[in-house]
Amino acid sequence: MSKTAKIVLDDNEHVLPVVTGSENENAIDISKLRGSTGYITIDPGYKNTGATKSAITFLDGEKGILRYRGYPIEQLAENASFMEVAYLLIYGELPNTIELQLFERSIKRHTLVHEDMKRFFEAYPAKAHPMGVLSSMVSSLATFYPESQNPDRNSEAINLTIHRLIAKLPTLAAWSYKNSMRHPFMYPNNKLDYCQNFLNMMFSMPTEDYDIDPVIVKALNKLLILHADHEQNCSTSTVRIVGSSQANLYSSISAGICALWGPLHGGANQKVIEMLLKIHIDGGNVDKWVEKAKDKNDPFRLMGFGHRVYKNFDPRAKIIKKSCDEVLEKLGVNDPLLEIAKKLEKVALEDEYFKERNLYPNVDFYSGIIYKALRIPTEMFTVMFAIGRLPGWIAQWKEMTENNEPIGRPRQIYTGYNSRDYVDVSKRK
User: Does 186 help bind ligand CMC (rule: CB under 6 A)?
Assistant: no
Q: In the complex with ligand CMC, which residue's Cβ is closer, 168 or 307? A: 307
The catalytic position among 110, 230, 265, 307 is 307
Which of 242, 340, 363, 384 binds ligand CMC (CB under 6 A)? It is 363
Q: What phi and psi values does residue 357 have, to the nearest 5 degrees?
A: -95, 5
Total site size for ligand CMC, rule CB under 6 A: 21
Q: DSSP string covering 152-178, please?
A: T--HHHHHHHHHHHHHHHHHHHHHHHH
Binding mask 155-174 for ligand CMC (x = CB under 6 A): --------------------
Q: In the complex with ligand CMC, which residue's Cβ is closer, 201 or 359? A: 359
* DSSP letter, residue 303: T
Nearby residues of 237 by Cβ (< 8 Å), 6 or more positions away: 46, 51, 259
Binding mask 289-318 for ligand CMC (x = CB under 6 A): ----x-------xxxxxxxx----------
In the residue annotation, 364 being an active-site residue is answered as: yes
Contact yes or no for 52/240 (Cβ under 8 A):
yes
Contact yes or no for 341/347 (Cβ under 8 A):
no
| d(C-alpha 60, C-alpha 389), whole Å | 19
The distance of closest approach from Cβ of residue 174 to ligand CMC in the complex, given in angstroms and rounded to an integer, is 23
Q: In the complex with ligand CMC, which residue's Cβ is closer, 193 or 379? A: 379
Q: In the complex with ligand CMC, which residue's Cβ is closer, 117 or 302? A: 302
Per CB under 6 A, the segment of 190-198, 355-363, 368-376, 412-420 that binds ligand CMC is 355-363
The distance of closest approach from Cβ of residue 346 to ligand CMC in the complex, given in angstroms and rounded to an integer, is 16
DSSP H helices, 204-334, are 214-227, 234-243, 249-261, 268-281, 286-294, 315-331
Which of 256, 266, 368, 388 binds ligand CMC (CB under 6 A)? It is 266
Binding mask 214-253 for ligand CMC (x = CB under 6 A): ----------------x--x--------------------
The distance of closest approach from Cβ of residue 360 to ligand CMC in the complex, given in angstroms and rounded to an integer, is 10
Per CB under 6 A, the segment of 94-102, 354-362, 367-375, 419-427 that binds ligand CMC is 354-362
Nearby residues of 414 by Cβ (< 8 Å), 6 or more positions away: none
Nearby residues of 117 by Cβ (< 8 Å), 6 or more positions away: 137, 140, 144
The distance of closest approach from Cβ of residue 260 to ligand CMC in the complex, given in angstroms and rounded to an integer, is 8
- CB atoms near residue 262 (< 10 Å): 15
Using alpha carbons only, what angle is made at residue 122 by residues 120 and 128, rounded to the nearest 5 degrees?
95
Q: In the complex with ligand CMC, which residue's Cβ is closer, 42 or 264? A: 264
Q: In the complex with ligand CMC, which residue's Cβ is closer, 9 or 264? A: 264
The distance of closest approach from Cβ of residue 336 to ligand CMC in the complex, given in angstroms and rounded to an integer, is 21
Length of the chain (residues): 429
Per CB under 6 A, the segment of 52-60, 69-77, 261-269, 321-329 that binds ligand CMC is 261-269
User: Does 359 help bind ligand CMC (rule: CB under 6 A)?
Assistant: yes
Rounded to the nearest angstrom, the gap between the alpha carbon of residue 52 and the centroid of all alpha carbons in its chain is 18
Contact yes or no for 33/17 (Cβ under 8 A):
no
Q: In the complex with ligand CMC, which residue's Cβ is closer, 188 or 368? A: 368
100 vs 80, 84, 96, 293, 348, CA distance in Å?
12, 7, 6, 46, 43
Give the H/E segment covering residue 300: none
Q: For residue 383, which of 82, 175, 146 has the smallest C-alpha distance? A: 175
- Residue whose CB is nearest to ligand CMC in the complex, by number: 306
The catalytic position among 287, 364, 421, 424 is 364
The distance of closest approach from Cβ of residue 217 to ligand CMC in the complex, given in angstroms and rounded to an integer, is 24
| d(C-alpha 39, C-alpha 32), whole Å | 10
| Partners of 67 in the β-ladder | 58, 72
In the residue annotation, 110 being an active-site residue is answered as: no
Q: Which residues bind ligand CMC (CB under 6 A)?
A: 45, 230, 233, 264-266, 268, 293, 301-308, 357, 359, 362-364
- The catalytic residue positions are 307, 364
